[in-house]
Chain A
Amino acid sequence: MTGPWDEEPQLDRAEEQLIAHLAAHYVPPPMLPARRVAWEAALWARLQKPRRRTRLVPALTTVGVAVMVAWLAVPRLFMPVPGGGELSGSVGGMSSLRQWEYELLYSRELSGATERDESVILPDDYRMIAQVFLDG
């Protein structure tokens, strides 16, 4: 028959002495009354405070870090791709260009604007300098 004491570890005399020594000498000093009052006041003050929702913080932090790493590592993912990305292969052999790259490179040709047309956006003094150097 198994008694409730049978589950306890069997100790020899030296082990009993050691444990008795530890139990007697490894004890915390008593809590001073003033400290206990302060501790209880702090405890109840914390209990009265509304609970902070801190569980989402690690998850949101992880997501934020992952997005930042992805943004730094693969910036292409975050670039705007108008028209759904790749052009068809019929555009002058530039099938590898995306729509926005194509428009950026060939915006002048697409809009029919000439180089000289751009000069109208320059301030007057810049235009005069340009005329001196470019037109001779």
Chain B
Amino acid sequence: MGDAVVQEPPVAELEQRFRLFVASHRERARRLAWRLVGGDDAAAEDVIQDAFIKAYRALDRFREEASLATWFYRIVVHQAHDYCRWRTVRETWGALWQSTTPGLAYQESGDPLLRQRIARALAQLSRSQRAAFVLVHLEGFSVREAAACMGKPEGTVKSHLHRALRTLRSELADLTEDTGGKRPVKLGRSADAVAGDAV
């Protein structure tokens, strides 16, 4: 009985496990992508669909250095950055031909004006600052997990967080008046904790 051969899971089983992975990470990934792309529903859905497809096709290249969830959210962050980069290119070229000014897409529900203000303030940050801020402060990732998602050292992420917070405080100073001083809502669990549930 010494010939223990590691067998790949059959395709059907792999698909079933991936379905579970999609089901358990879809909402959090969508929320993360939505915040990174500036509040655009359709863009966020496209971004996470592309991210899931990339993750599925690259599963054989996944190494156990990080958790599967952290690895996946890293793909989401990259996809969101790619989307923002192409959107900038499209808007730059589009502005040459059209007189309409490009803008972020907002869902007309809740408080759209406040959402627009927040989106504009976040858009003032660099991509890395925005990613660090969204991952850590809005999505509840630890600094270490955010660093793994962004592919940057923890010290760099902390620096991005500090600068992002300073910018946002100056842009949205009036929002700190009447909120009652609650701790930030930890939306979702740690990526590592969620990873244990699927795949």
Contact = CB atoms under 8 A, between A and B. Distances in A.
Contact of A21 (B26, B110, B165, B176): B176
A25 B111 contact: yes
6 contacts: A9-B165, A17-B179, A22-B138, A22-B168, A23-B187, A25-B114
- A-side interface size class: 20 to 34
A26 B57 contact: no
B108 to A, nearest CB: 9
A9 B137 CA distance: 9
Interface of B: 22, 26-27, 30-31, 34-35, 39, 41, 44-45, 49, 52-53, 56-57, 107, 109-111, 114-115, 118-119, 122, 136-138, 142-144, 154, 158, 161-162, 165, 168-169, 172, 175-176, 179-185, 187
A13 interface: yes
Contacts of B181: 13, 16-17, 20
Contacts of A51: 57
> Helix, strand, loop or mixed for chain B's interface?
helix
B25 to A, nearest CB: 12
4 nearest A-B residue pairs (beta carbon): A28-B34, A19-B184, A20-B182, A17-B176
